[in-house]
C-alpha cells in the first residue's frame, strides 16, 4: 500500500476515476487543493465526491510552487508521501516538481513542462525531426499576422497553455485571425486562476482523421496500449463529439501512428508517464497534434479499461510509486467500446433531454449520463460544455461507434432561452 499526494484534480471524469483506481489498488491519497469547493460543486446532489475519500484534505496555495514545495517538505516527516500525482493539466509540472523535490519517482519536471506548453512541444519535436505542422510562436498581433501570411490560410490559431480545445480555431483569412487573436487576449487567466502565457501558436491546418495513441512509458521504453479514434465537429472550433477504442485502422497505419507517438515522447524526454498523444493521419503520414503527459480524458481511459482491462488511472498511481505496471490485456468480453457526447447548440436553461430515460435499458449500453433539468447551458466551443454522454460496447468487433451513433440519434436536448 502506498500513500500518494494528489495535487489538485481534473473536475470531470478523472476526478472520480483516479480516486477509485487508487482505492481499488489498495493505496491511500492526501488531496492538496487551493479551493475544495471547486470540486464539490460538481458532485450530484446527495452524493459524496470521491475526492473526499482522501486520508487528508489539505488547503494551500497550489499556484506558488516554491511555497508549496516548502510546505510539502514540512509535511513529509509526518505524512510520509510515497509518490506525487495529479490528473489536471494545469498542475502536471507542479506534481513533477514536487516529486523531484522530495526525491520520489516521477518524470523529469522539465520534460513535463515542455509537454504541457504547446510552443515548447513544437520546438522540441521540430528539433528532433518528429513530423508535425509548420508553425510559428507569436507574442503580439503583428507577428501573428505576419506568420499567418507566411504559412498561408486556412490555418489554426491556438493558445500554448490551455486544454480541452479551448480557443483552438480554424481561421480562413486575416479578419477571422484577428477576431480569434482578440478572443485569446481577452482570456488572460485560466479556469484555475493562473495567469496565461502571452504566446500564441499559428499552425498549418492538418487534414485527415484524428486519433490518439494511449501509452505508458517507464524504464526508457514506451508501451502502446492502443489507439482511439476521435470525431470532431463545431467548426471553426474543434469539439470532440465521440471516440471509439480501438480505432478501426489497418495494421500499417496503426503502427505508423504508434511509432510517431513513441518518437514524440522520446523527443520530449518523458518517462514514467501515461501519455495521450493526439495525431492527424494526413495524406503525407501521421503528424503530431499534441502530447499530453497524463491519461486521456473524455471517457477514453474508461473505454480502454472496458476493452482491455488495463486501468490507466491505476497505472498512473503505479508509476508515481515507482512500481512496474502490469499492462497485460485481459479478456473483458468486449471487442470495442465507444462514447458519444451530447453537445449543446444554444444557450439557456435545460428543460429536458428527450430520450435519455430509455437509454439505460437499451442493449449494449455501458453508461448513460445526462445533465439534470434546470442546468444552465452555454453553447460550447470546447470540450467543457457537454450535456451528457452515452457509452456502448460491441462484444464481437468494431461496431461500438455505430451503436453509439444510433443511440444518440434518439436523444435531443430541449434548451429554453433565458
Q: Which SS3 state, helix, strand or coil, does residue 93 take?
A: helix
Residue 193 has phi, psi (to 5 degrees) of 85, 10
Does the pLDDT of residue 46 top 80, yes or no?
Answer: no
Domain identity same for 23 and 48? yes
**Cell numbers found for residue 37:** 469547493
**Could you tell me where the beta strands, DSSP code E, fall in 120-220?**
135-138, 155-159, 169-171, 200-204, 210-218
Beta bridge partners of 224: 215
Domain identity same for 45 and 89? yes
Q: Which SS3 state, helix, strand or coil, does residue 228 take?
A: strand
Q: Which SS3 state, helix, strand or coil, does residue 301 take?
A: helix
Which of 82-96, 282-296, 355-369, 385-399 has the lowest average pLDDT? Answer: 355-369
Q: Contact, 200 vs 135, CB < 8 A?
A: no
What is the tens place of the pLDDT at every residue in 67-83? Answer: 999 999 999 999 999 99
Residue 35 domain-assigned (yes or no): yes
At 378, the pLDDT band (50, 70, 90 cuts) reads confident
For cell 508509476, what's the residue? 319
Tell me the residue length of the chain: 418
Region 382-390: mean pLDDT is 91
Region 8-32: mean pLDDT is 95
Domain boundary among 332, 349, 366: 332
Q: How far apart are CA 115 and CA 360, in angstroms?
A: 38
For cell 505524512, what's the residue? 79
Name the strands in the sheet holding 412-416, side by side, starting at the edge strand that comes first in the sequence. 376-377, 348-354, 412-416
Domain identity same for 339 and 328? no
Domain identity same for 318 and 418? no
Domain identity same for 149 and 187? yes
Domain identity same for 328 and 216? yes
Residue 216 domain-assigned (yes or no): yes
Domain boundary among 204, 232, 247: 204
Which is it for the CA torsion 187, 159, 230, 367, positive or negative?
Answer: negative
Domain identity same for 302 and 369? no
At 393, the pLDDT band (50, 70, 90 cuts) reads very high
Does the pLDDT of residue 45 top 70, yes or no?
Answer: no
Q: Please enumerate in sequence order all residues whose Cβ is within 8 A of that of 361, keeping only pairs 6 or more positions apart, or say none.
A: none
Predicted model pTM: 0.96
Angle at 360 between CA 358 and CA 362, to 5 degrees: 75
Domain identity same for 42 and 99? yes
Domain identity same for 198 and 213? no
Q: Contact, 321 vs 218, CB < 8 A?
A: no
Q: How far apart are CA 194 and CA 177, in angstroms?
A: 25
Beta bridge partners of 416: 349
Provide the mean pLDDT of the chain: 95
Q: Please enumerate in sequence order all residues whose Cβ is within 8 A of that of 142, keeping only pairs 6 or more positions apart, or say none.
A: none
Q: Which SS3 state, helix, strand or coil, does residue 107 take?
A: coil
Helix (H) or strand (E) holding 351: strand 348-354
CATH number for the domain spanning 378: value is 3.30.470.20
What is the tens place of the pLDDT at every residue in 231-267? Answer: 999 899 999 999 999 999 999 999 999 999 999 999 9
For cell 472496458, what's the residue? 306
Q: How far apart are CA 127 and CA 346, in angstroms?
A: 43
Q: For residue 237, give its domain range.
A: 209-332
Q: How many domains does the chain have?
A: 4
Helix 300-308 and helix 312-320, axial crossing angle in degrees, nearest 10: 100
Amino acid at each position: 500500500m502506498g500513500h500518494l499526494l494528489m495535487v489538485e484534480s481534473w473536475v470531470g471524469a478523472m476526478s472520480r476515476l483516479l480516486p477509485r483506481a487508487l482505492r481499488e489498488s489498495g493505496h491511500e491519497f492526501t488531496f492538496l487543493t487551493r479551493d475544495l469547493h471547486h470540486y464539490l460543486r460538481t458532485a450530484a446532489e446527495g452524493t459524496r465526491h470521491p475526492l473526499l475519500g482522501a486520508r487528508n484534505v489539505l488547503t494551500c496555495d497550489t499556484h506558488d510552487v516554491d511555497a508549496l514545495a516548502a510546505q510539502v517538505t514540512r509535511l513529509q516527516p509526518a505524512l510520509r508521501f510515497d509518490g506525487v500525482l495529479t490528473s489536471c493539466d494545469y498542475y502536471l509540472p507542479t506534481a513533477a516538481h514536487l516529486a523531484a523535490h522530495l526525491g520520489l519517482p516521477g518524470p523529469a519536471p522539465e520534460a513535463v513542462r515542455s509537454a504541457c506548453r504547446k510552443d515548447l512541444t513544437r520546438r522540441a519535436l521540430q528539433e528532433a525531426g518528429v513530423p508535425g505542422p509548420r508553425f510559428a510562436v507569436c507574442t503580439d498581433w503583428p507577428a501573428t499576422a505576419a506568420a499567418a501570411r507566411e504559412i498561408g490560410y486556412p490555418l489554426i490559431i491556438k493558445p500554448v497553455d490551455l486544454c480541452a480545445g479551448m480557443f483552438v480555431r480554424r481561421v480562413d483569412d486575416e479578419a477571422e485571425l484577428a477576431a480569434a487573436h482578440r478572443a485569446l487576449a481577452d482570456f488572460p487567466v485560466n479556469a484555475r486562476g493562473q495567469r496565461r502565457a502571452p504566446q500564441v501558436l499559428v499552425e498549418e491546418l492538418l487534414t485527415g482523421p484524428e486519433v490518439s495513441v494511449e501509452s505508458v512509458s517507464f524504464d526508457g521504453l514506451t508501451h502502446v496500449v492502443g489507439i482511439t479514434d476521435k470525431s470532431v465537429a463545431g467548426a471553426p472550433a474543434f469539439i470532440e463529439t465521440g471516440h471509439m477504442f480501438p480505432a478501426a485502422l489497418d495494421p500499417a497505419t496503426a503502427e505508423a501512428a504508434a511509432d510517431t507517438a513513441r518518437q514524440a515522447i522520446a523527443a520530449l524526454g518523458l518517462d514514467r508517464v501515461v501519455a495521450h498523444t493526439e495525431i492527424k493521419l494526413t495524406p503525407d503520414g501521421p503528424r503530431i497534434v499534441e502530447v499530453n503527459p497524463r491519461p486521456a480524458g473524455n471517457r477514453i481511459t474508461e473505454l480502454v479499461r472496458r476493452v482491455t482491462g488495463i486501468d490507466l488511472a491505476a497505472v498512473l498511481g503505479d508509476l508515481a510509486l515507482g512500481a512496474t505496471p502490469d499492462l497485460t490485456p485481459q479478456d473483458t468480453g468486449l471487442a470495442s467500446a465507444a462514447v458519444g457526447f451530447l453537445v449543446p447548440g444554444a444557450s439557456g436553461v435545460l428543460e429536458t433531454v428527450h430520450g435519455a430515460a430509455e437509454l439505460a435499458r437499451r442493449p449494449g449500453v455501458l453508461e448513460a449520463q445526462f445533465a439534470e433539468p434546470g442546468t444552465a447551458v452555454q453553447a460550447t466551443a470546447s470540450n467543457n460544455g457537454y450535456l451528457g454522454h452515452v457509452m456502448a460496447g460491441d462484444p464481437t468487433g468494431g461496431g461500438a461507434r455505430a451503436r453509439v451513433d444510433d443511440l444518440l440519434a434518439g436523444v435531443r436536448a430541449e434548451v429554453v432561452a433565458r
